[in-house]
A and B are shown apart, each in its own frame.
Chain A
Amino acid sequence: MKALETIIVLEPGRAERNYWRDLWSYRELFAILAWRDISVRYKQTVIGIAWAVIRPFLTMIVFTIVFGHLAKLPSEGDVPYPILVFAGMLPWFLFSSILSEASASVVGNANLVGKVYFPRLIIPTTAAVVTLVDFAINLVVLLGLILWYGFLPGWRIALLPGFVALAMLASLGPAFLVAALNVKYRDFRYIIPFCVQFGLYVSPVGFSSAIIPDNWRFWYSLNPVVGVIDGFRWCIIGEDSPLYLPGFTLSLVVVALSLWCGITYFRRTERSFADLI
């Protein structure tokens, strides 16, 4: 009994020694917060989950018309253009909604942060998991599109979960950073929507990244979303959308780096959240 007794020492600047174990022991809180956000999200909306579909679906139609029909950009192989767009739209919406939801989440949960202790990393992570629900719904829409066009994806579709995880990691890095910065400087509240809007056009959502000139293509992958979208298309479209490996590797490195930066900064500042919020 005595041996089990936990001793906590609180000192200025003291790093949590068991941070990750602590985080694990709060998994139930994590689950319940995620459940809260999901159930609140669909209460009091008339068409509920349809909202998750409308935005990407309409964007897909517009992009297909603008890029596919007016600009006459090439698709990949003989893949129908809507499928090409939707396969890029799916990870893009996952990425951008995690970025905007998670980065506002700490400030949005100010009452919790000021009144109870738990590892703060839980908050943005919860917000990220919640967006998976919308993602899953959109995945069904993609399935519908595939059936509609009678298009058959290959075995690679089985690897899709890995790329979903990659999309989440890619967005969580910047999201942690911005969530922490947001506590101190509320300006970031205005920066993120701008970044998201801007990102939609610089990322290969409405077009294939194969149309980027070869000597630019490597540096284009500095945008981690490029790697994620290419990965998605590779899974869904298959043969006709070969993975450009040097670029993909660069994207992976950028993702890892931003994740490391985000977590480090978040952990360094999370102890003062309650004072500033």
Chain B
Amino acid sequence: MSEDIVIRVEDLGKKYLIGHQVKRERYTALRDVIPRYAKRIIRNAADLARGRAIIGGEEIEEFWALTNLSFEVKRGEVIGIIGRNGAGKSTLLKILSRITEPSTGRVTIKGRVASLLEVGTGFHPELTGRENIFLNGAILGMTRAETRRKFDDIVAFAEVERFLDTPVKRYSSGMYVRLAFAVAAHLEPEILIVDEVLAVGDAAFQRKCLGKMQDVALGGRTVLFVSHQMAAIQNFCDTGVLLTNGRVTASGAIEDVVRRYMSASTALSQVSLLERGDRGGTGEIRMTEVSFKNGDGNYVQSFTSGGAAIIEIGLGGPRPRVAKNVRIALGVDSDLGQRVLVLSTHLAECDLTELPPDALTISVQVPRLALAPGRYGFTLYCSINGEVADWIKDAGTFEVEAGDFYGSGSLPMTGQGAFLMDHRFEIGSAAVTREKLEQLNSLC
């Protein structure tokens, strides 16, 4: 193994056995149930005799959560692992942290590993904050002396001084997460493995945690990091690995890997909305299609910055009656999957108190589009009386081309931020500036 490679994964595979419930009719007769039950007992008994695990369900299937995985991690590298839900990210981390064993292949790890697959593993609700710090520290692999040394830092980081001797079951969930993360953030292993733990906690605390982890990374430690937040991944990691259905489909510089991931997910969103099965809600209203128009009412392929934009949403679904209190929203995401803004009937103060059955489209009209040139994705949401009726994530994408937003003749630049904003520059005399400064000083 070469000097600066700390993790080498070769041909790794992980197999799970999963059971399926056979689809059954709503009403089953007792004479159907009894033989089925007997068959299951016999099968379970046979499994027991052979020493195999019992899997629920009638049909058993082998499922490869990871197949032929190979990659290397260098010392001091901060590597992001991304992929859709169920791609196998957590499974990979579990193998690397020795929680479960691989089914094929081999992993070689050099150095002390600490893994953080969940915040607050082993926290006991009856124990106090102080006691839990020691408990959790030991579970994550710190010695008692180490925990004692870092105790004050941990408490300060978590900002829970006042509640140190209160059982954690009395903590608010935010405090709980803070305390749990504070312990984890003070780990000092050579290799740190972090699963999606930042999804919890408020935004400010998330930032603080990222900062702390960045310090860890700057300290020359190797970090493996899983997250669905592309912004965090890009800030934090140098390189990345993209997992798709248990295989590596891209690896290398993090920007390239994130771009591959995003373009793979927009390919999915180009499916016509009628065929989208992966949507939520009661289905009382179904959004059937989306089309784009410019200010003249013509259908267009893309919008221009500074021009009018109209997004028209087709409405379907079984609507025999007038639907009350309908709310429709459209979330716009950047190329990198970050939510840029939300357009909603609620925000624009035009909630649809009554939507008649013969309303077949609804359109969002933006008089002057303030988005920078680039590609944007959007999510559609519709609720009736506060109950989600339809919800399609990553419903589609649209392009914004450079346009004369400022009316100055110069075009906004691509890749320089997501927003355009009216602004002016003004030159003031020195005297005014000093006066202003004094005014400011007196305020402080």
Contacts and interface: CB of A to CB of B under 8 A. Distances in A.
Contacts of A275: 16, 100
A215 interface: no
A12 B134 contact: no
Interface residues of B, number: 41
A7 B111 CA distance: 6
B26 interface: no
Contact of A9 (B96, B106, B127): B106
Contact of B117 (A6, A7, A32, A115): A115
A113 B94 CA distance: 11
A202 B112 CA distance: 50
Given A40-B124, A117-B115, A185-B54, A8 B100 contact: no
B40 interface: no
Interface string B95-135: 11111111111111111110101100110101100010011
A112 interface: yes
B121 A8 contact: no
B99 A272 contact: no
B127 A6 contact: no
B138 interface: yes
A28 B143 CA distance: 7
A32 B134 contact: yes
Given A32-B138, A44-B126, A185-B48, A114 B111 contact: no
B34 interface: no
Nearest to A41: B126
Contacts of A214: none
Interface in A1-48: 5-14, 28-29, 32-33, 36, 39-40, 43-44
A217 interface: no
B53 interface: yes
Contacts of B144: 28, 32
Given A36-B127, A112-B139, A8 B104 contact: no
B336 interface: no
Interface string A205-243: 000000000000000000000000000000000000000
Interface string A109-120: 001111111100
Interface string A238-277: 0000000000000000000000000000000001101110
A115 B113 CA distance: 14
Contacts of A32: 134-135, 138, 144
Contacts of B262: none
B140 interface: yes
A32 B127 CA distance: 12
A32 B141 CA distance: 12
A117 B95 CA distance: 10
B107 A9 contact: yes
B135 A115 contact: no
Contacts of B111: 5-6
Contacts of A274: 94, 99-100
Contacts of B118: 111, 115
Contact of A111 (B101, B103, B110, B121): B121
Interface residues of A, number: 34
Contacts of B102: 10-12
Contacts of B108: 7-10
B135 A36 contact: yes
Nearest to B1: A7
Contacts of B1: 7
Interface in A108-161: 111-118
A184 interface: yes
A11 B144 CA distance: 31
Contacts of A8: 98, 108-110, 113
Interface string B288-324: 0000000000000000000000000000000000000
Contact of B131 (A9, A39, A44): A39
Interface in A171-187: 184-185
Contacts of B105: 11-12
A67 B98 CA distance: 54
B165 to A, nearest CB: 13
Given A6-B111, A272-B101, A39 B140 contact: no
Contacts of A6: 110-112
Given A39-B131, A44-B126, A116-B115, A10 B138 contact: no
Nearest to B107: A10
Given A11-B102, A274-B100, A115 B121 contact: yes
Contacts of B96: 10
A112 B135 CA distance: 12
Nearest to B52: A184
Contact of A116 (B95, B110, B140): B140
A114 B110 contact: no
Contact of B110 (A5, A115, A276): A5
A13 B138 CA distance: 28
Contacts of A9: 106-109
B100 A272 contact: yes
Contacts of B113: 8
A276 B107 contact: no
A14 B95 CA distance: 13
A39 B128 CA distance: 11
Choose among A33, A115, A271 the residue with the greatest number of B CB atoms under 10 Å from its CB: A115
A12 B127 contact: no
Choose among B99, B102, B105, B115 the residue with the greatest number of A CB atoms under 10 Å from its CB: B99
A41 to B, nearest CB: 10
B54 A29 contact: no
Contact of A36 (B94, B124, B140, B143): B124
Choose among A10, A117, A271, A272 the residue with the greatest number of B CB atoms under 10 Å from its CB: A10
B106 A112 contact: no
Given A12-B103, A39-B131, 19 more contacts: A5-B110, A6-B111, A7-B1, A9-B108, A9-B109, A10-B107, A11-B107, A29-B139, A32-B135, A114-B99, A116-B115, A116-B121, A116-B122, A117-B99, A117-B115, A118-B139, A184-B54, A185-B54, A274-B94
Interface of A: 5-14, 28-29, 32-33, 36, 39-40, 43-44, 111-118, 184-185, 271-272, 274-276
16 contacts: A5-B110, A7-B109, A8-B113, A9-B109, A11-B105, A28-B138, A29-B139, A36-B131, A36-B135, A40-B126, A115-B99, A116-B97, A116-B121, A117-B115, A272-B100, A276-B53
